[in-house]
Structure formats: C-alpha cells, structure tokens
Structure 1
Amino acid sequence: MKAIVVSRYGEPELLEVREVEDPQAGEGEVLIKIVATALNKRENRTSPPPGASLYPGLECSGIIEAVGSGVSKWKVGDEVCALLGGGGHAEKVNVPAGQVFPIPKGVSLQDAAGIPEVACTVWSTIFMSVHLSKGETLLIHGGGSGIGTFAIQIAKAKDVKVFITAGNDERVKKCIELGAADGINYKTEDFVERVKALTGGKGVDVILDIVGAPYLNRNVEALAVGGRLFIIGLQEGATGDINLSLVLGKHLTVAGAGLRNRTAENKAQIVQEVLEHVWPEIEAGKVKIVIDEVFPLERAADAHCALESSHFGKILLTP
C-alpha cells in the first residue's frame, strides 16, 4: 500500500509517499481500507510513542476490510471511523476494535474522518477530567482549530457559555457563528482583561489550552475561584512560570494530558463515553465537523503546511 513516511521529524517537506507493506488485522483488531484521514498539528514533528505506527495519522474513516480473532462487534464491509495511535496517512490501517466508531447519522463517510481525535480529546479532557458542567463558562484558546471548532459546539450543546481566542477578527467571527458567546483577537487584545470584562470580574470556570508556556500564568489569572486549566498542547513552549499563590488562593486545578500515548484500554473507555455523550449531539445536528480543505495523499506536505497556517477547522487527506 501507499503510506506517508516521515524520513526525519521536522518540516512538512520531509514527508514522503512510499510503497510499504500492508498491515494485518491482529487479535482484537480490525483492518480499515481508508477513505479519508485528518491532520493534527505537530504529528509530523515528534516521534510516535513506543509500539505505535511509524506513519502519521491519528484518525480516519473507511470500510472494514478484515476482522481479527476475538472481534465480534464489527464485520467486513462496515463503514466506520476510528481513533488511531498512528498510521492513518495511508491506504489501510489496523486498529484495536475498541477504538472504532460507527459513522454518525447525517455525516458523510469522508467527513467522519475528522471526528474521532477531536471528539475524544475534548470529551476526555474538559468533561471527563475536569468536569465542565451545565451553566459554567469555558475559554478555548485556538478557537479556529479542529479542536476549537469542535469544543465550541459540544460545550454549547451541553449548556456551557463559551469564549474563544483566535488570531484575527475573521476567525473570531466564524467561531461566534459556530456558537461561541464572544471571541478575543489575541493579537490586538489582552485575553485576561477581556475575560474579566466578559465575566463581571470573576474569570472563567475552565480553560482549554493548546499554547503552553507563554499562557500558563495568564491562564491562572483568567480563571475564576475553583477554576480548572487543562493543557493539551505546547505549541509555544513547555516551560513557564506560574504564580502558585494564585493557584492556592483561588483553589485552582492545573492539569494536562495527551491522547496518543494512553493505553488501548483507556482509549476504549473514552470511545464509549464519546459514543454515549457526543454521538447523539452530532446526530441531532448540534455538533458539525468543520472541514477546511481536502488534499490527496500525495500532497501531504502541502496539507501540513496549510495546517500550520491560517486554516479553520479540519484538513483531510484522501488516498
């Protein structure tokens, strides 16, 4: 099969299309013939965790081509999407059966490729881990990203008031159209001051952050008493200063986690929660996957360049 191979981790130009050996469905796995796969930031820049596929691609949609021993839920011919540990930038991929989803009603097979990673990331962090609840307020950094566009909609569907930051006024406007109550252009406004103004000086209950170090202490300042900060990205750095007196005085929780390096058992648990709590909102039309652009597999480098520029929502690759 054809697959995208990372010859050296770094710039998108280092991605290459090569002929590689077909994967096989092992025990407890299914083999998916891929219809589409979605891009996620920086997956071409860091090496995979031990045991994961060497090929990038953390989610896909397609048709089950083979079923391994011990799998009873899925059969050959089923149309599915899946959360992957890697390997999605290819024509086929094997994946544990517990990480496979049915295609939500009302969503095309191709567009469903952009759901698993964002849905599992958002639900496992701000809902499962820090218990974002009805009536609370949420600040999302990077509102125009794949994560951001999804988080806006699922939080609003759960009766949460959402604010976002984005890099220009047009992206802010699009986020508000998706359901954000208000937005902050971080290039022209101080998000801490604006959050305080939007919340009557209280701050927000939960922050979902992809930026990392430069925002660490500012996030703490923007949180309300009892607030929770969840860090899922380190796009601007991994080491920062924090005012611990604010953490103690405001009874704050600061947490972080990735999704890719979790165990298969933990991922299967997250998938079940997403099926129970998120899939109904998608099928009801309250949450829609936002697709910015679709590239052929051979243009993976161009697609990753687009991902690192001013995209809005998800970018897909098709074999």
Structure 2
Amino acid sequence: MRAVVAREAGGPEVLELVEVEDLTVGPGELLLDVTAAGVNRADLLQRQGHYPPPPGASPLIGLEVSGHVAVVGAGVEGWSVGDACVALLAGGGYAEQVVVPAGQVVAPPPGMDLVEAAGLIEVAATVVSNLDLAHLSAGEVFLVHGGAGGIGSFAIQYARSLGATVLATAGAAEKVAYCRSVGAHHAFSYRDDWAAQVRSLAPEGVDLVLDSVGARYLETHQQLMATEGRLVVIGMQGGARATLDLAALLSRRGLVTATSLRPRPPAEKAEICRRVVERVWPLLVDGTIAPTPQTTFPLAEASAAHAHLESGDHLGKLVLVVRR
C-alpha cells in the first residue's frame, strides 16, 4: 500500500508518498480502506520529531480517518466488510489502509459525507473527554483559544450546547467573526489585550479554560481563573515550561491539569468514542453543532497540507483525501 512517511525530522518537505508493507489484522482489530485522514497539530509535532507515537503504535503520522471496513479481525462483532466508518488512531492515518482496535471505530454521523467526517472524531473526542474531565456545566464561563480551528470551533459549539457562556480568541478579524458565527458569546483577537476583555466580561473569573497554548499563557490563565476554576492544558504551541504561582492557585482553590488523548489505552479510547457517538452525533444531525469548514488536499500533497496548517491561514479543519 501507499503511505506518507517522514524521511527525517524536519519541515513539511520531509513528507513523501511511498510504497510500504501491507498491514495484517489481529484479533479484536479492523482493517480499513481509508477514504480521508484528518490533519492535526499533533501531526506537525510528530513530523518535527517532538511527538513520537506511543509504544506499539504505527510510526506513520495520522490520528483519525474515515473509510470502509476491509477485513474484520477475529472476535470482532457488529462490523461487516464494506461498512462505512470513522476511526480514532494512535498513528497510521496518512495511508491507504490502517489497522485499528475495533472499539475505536464507529459509524459516521448519519448523512455526513466520509471526507467531511474524516476530520471529526479526533476533535470531538478531545473536546468531549476534556470537558467531561473538567465538569463544565450550565451557567459557567468557558474560554477556548484558537476558536477558528478544528478543536476551537467544535469546543465553542459543544460548550454552548452545555449551557456555558463561551469566550474565544482567534487571530485575524474574519476568524474572530467566525467564532461568533458558530456560537461564541464573545470573541476577540489574541493580537489585542484579550485578557483585559475577558476580565471585563467575566469579572468573577473564568470557570474553565481549554488551553492549547501552554506556557505563554499560564500566568495569565491563573489570574483569570474564578474560584474553583479549572485550567485544562491540551497543547504547547506557546512553550512547555512556565512558572506556576501556587499562592494564586491556592487562593482560588484552582485546578490545573494536562491531558493527552493519543497514549491512552484502547479501552479508554473506546469509551470516549462511545460517548462521542451518544452525545455529539445527535447534535450534528439536529444542527446544534455545524461541521467546521474544510480545506482538502490529496494524500500525495501532505507536505502542502502541513505547510498550510503551519501558516495559520486556515479556517476550520484540513483533510487529506485518499480515495473518493
């Protein structure tokens, strides 16, 4: 089969489409013919050599795909060859085929095209698992950064569906406007004094921050937290090391946690996928959550997709199309 490999750690130019060995299916697994693969910021980190796959996972890049079942492994029930599906992966998505534990494979949202569905499961699983962890509830104030990206735009809509007041940051004016269009009660550019705007809108503080920036905003987030506020760090775009003010944290009885979806064991991922289907798919069907805009690239142009994501010019989600 063909797959995208990174010749070495480096820029987008190290990615190339080559022939690799065919895959074999073990008990409890499914082999999928990939229709499309989502492109995520974690993929950029892996290409750069900063985010190696967990032990036993495919060394290929790619954390989510859509496609059809090609082979059903021993002991797997409920799936037949030819069934449409989406899958949450620990790696291997940038390829014509992928092997996945059956619990991480689910039917796509009813009525959704498989290319559009390819960029959904990683985003939904990340947001649902972290908002569950932090117990976001109706009436609370929620802040998310990168509101015009895949995770941010989904988080805006999902948090609003839970009854939270949603604040979001983005870059250019059109991205800020997009955040408002998908449900953010207030959105502002991170190029301005966004923290001051948050303080004016939420003088009692923010109950939950979903933070993909990391170190650069840590001190600011501590200052913005409400009493018993929660900070959930899911990315390090702004660095990995910063000083935590324990006195400020103690005074607010605050909680700071950091999570990663990729290295979780299959049983945990299967449970998260189950919750996504149960909670998110109905919201997509009834229009409460709208799919984010997509930019698609052929699989052979993975390097261009990575360059586009790194540029910051994209809106919504990027997807590699393998076959239609």
TM-score calculated relative to the size of structure 2 = 0.95
* C-alpha contact 1:114 1:289 (8 A) present in aligned 2: no
CA–CA distance in 2 between the matches of 1:307 and 1:147?
A: 13
| 1:270-295 Cα deviation digits (max 9, x unpaired) | 11111222221112121122133100
In the TM superposition, what are the counterparts of 1:91-130 in structure 2 within 5 Å? Answer: 91-126=96-131, 128-130=132-134
| C-alpha displacement of 1:269 | 1.3
1:237 paired residue number: 239
| 1:27-74 Cα deviation digits (max 9, x unpaired) | 101111011111001422232121111111100000101100010021
1:316 paired residue number: 319
CA–CA distance in 1 between the matches of 2:260 and 2:316?
A: 20
1:29 lines up with 2:32 in the alignment: no
2:73 paired residue number: 68
* C-alpha contact 1:14 1:301 (8 A) present in aligned 2: yes
> Which amino acid letter does the alignment assign opposite residue 81 of structure 2?
V
Task: Point out the more displaced range, 285-294 or 49-58.
Answer: 285-294
Task: Point out the more displaced range, 86-95 or 18-27.
Answer: 18-27
1:16 paired residue number: 16
1:295 paired residue number: 297
| 1:74-118 Cα deviation digits (max 9, x unpaired) | 111110001011111011101000001111113111111011100
SS in 2 for 1:22: coil
Structure 2 stretches lacking a partner, 5+ long: none
CA–CA distance in 1 between the matches of 2:111 and 2:154?
A: 16
Match of 2:180 among 173, 176, 181: 176
CA–CA distance in 2 between the matches of 1:32 and 1:196?
A: 48
CA–CA distance in 2 between the matches of 1:238 and 1:58?
A: 22
CA–CA distance in 1 between the matches of 2:158 and 2:110?
A: 17
1:197 lines up with 2:208 in the alignment: no
> Which amino acid letter does the alignment assign opposite residue 232 of structure 2?
F
Structure 1 stretches lacking a partner, 5+ long: none
Please report the RMSD computed on the Cα atoms of aligned residues, expressed in angstroms. Answer: 1.1
| 1:219-243 Cα deviation digits (max 9, x unpaired) | 1111111110000000121000122
* C-alpha contact 1:192 1:221 (8 A) present in aligned 2: no
* C-alpha contact 2:35 2:114 (8 A) present in aligned 1: yes
SS in 2 for 1:278: helix
Of all paired residues, the percent bearing the same amino acid is: 45
Match of 2:277 among 252, 275, 278: 275
CA–CA distance in 1 between the matches of 2:262 and 2:125?
A: 10
1:219 paired residue number: 221
CA–CA distance in 2 between the matches of 1:194 and 1:176?
A: 15
> Which amino acid letter does the alignment assign opposite residue 106 of structure 1?
G
> Which amino acid letter does the alignment assign opposite residue 94 of structure 1?
V
TM-score calculated relative to the size of structure 1 = 0.97
1:5 paired residue number: 5
CA–CA distance in 2 between the matches of 1:10 and 1:122?
A: 29
